[in-house]
Each structure stands twice: as C-alpha cells, then as structure tokens.
Amino acid sequence: MIHSMSGGVLFDGELLTFVKVDGEAAGWYLSPVPVKVGEKVLVPYGNGSAEGKVTRLERCTAQTSPVPAKRAKSILRVLSLDERGEA
C-alpha cells in the first residue's frame, strides 16, 4: 500500500475484475462473482435491470481500470441456463 503525503492511499494493490457486457446496457461492469466470457448476466439499467452477454474480462487495479472504479456499477448476477433460454 502506498500513501500520499496528505494521508490518502494512492495504491492498495487490490485486483478487480471488470467485465465488458454487450446488449441493451452495454458497458464495463465490476464483477463480484466469477463469470466467463459468453455467459449472460443481469446488470443495472435505468431504474431496473437488463440482460447482457459478457464479451471480455479484465483483471486490473483501480488505477488501470477501463472505467473509473469508484463509479463502476456491478453486475447483479449470472443468469442460470433456464433463464438464458439454453439447454
């Protein structure tokens, strides 16, 4: 952990998992649960939620994230096979 001279933390070394989702609510989301490319997920969208497909995974720090980590929303959950409409 690296601290600034004013007392704040500059780097804590924590790796975060970001997923790129395509669909109605396309964008980058934090993933608090394990997910694989190709899986369908439920993400926040407006006042509700929307389905999307994971197209990319990135393991990075808050400083190197594809979007500002403090503003990133998290995926709500991975959809089950039944919810995806797959057999």
Examine residue 85 and state whether it is found in any structural domain, yes or no.
no
Examine residue 62 and state whether it is found in any structural domain, yes or no.
yes
Examine residue 6 and state whether it is found in any structural domain, yes or no.
no
Average pLDDT over residues 79-83: 79
Q: What is the largest CA-CA distance in the chain?
A: 56
**pLDDT at position 35, please?**
95
**pLDDT at position 49, please?**
96
Q: Which residues, other chains included, contact 21 with Cβ-Cβ below 8 Å and sequence gap of 6+?
A: 27, 28, 29, 41, 43, 52, 53, 54, 55, 75
**pLDDT at position 7, please?**
54
Examine residue 64 and state whether it is found in any structural domain, yes or no.
yes
Q: 20: domain range?
A: 14-80
Q: Which residue has the tokens 């057999």?
A: 87
The answer, as to whether pTM is greater than 0.95, is no
Examine residue 8 and state whether it is found in any structural domain, yes or no.
no
Examine residue 35 and state whether it is found in any structural domain, yes or no.
yes
Q: What's the number of domains the chain is made of?
A: 1
pLDDT exceeds cutoff 90 at 76? yes
**pLDDT at position 13, please?**
74
Calpha distance 44→61 (Å, rounded):
22
> Please, what's the b/e burial string for 7-18 (b: 16 or more CB within 10 A of its CB; e: otherwise)?
eeeeeeeeebbb
Left if phi > 0, otherwise alpha if psi is -120 to 50, otherwise beta: which for 46? left
Examine residue 86 and state whether it is found in any structural domain, yes or no.
no
Examine residue 31 and state whether it is found in any structural domain, yes or no.
yes
Q: What are 10-61's pLDDT values in tens digits? A: 556 789 999 999 999 999 999 999 999 999 999 999 999 999 999 999 999 8
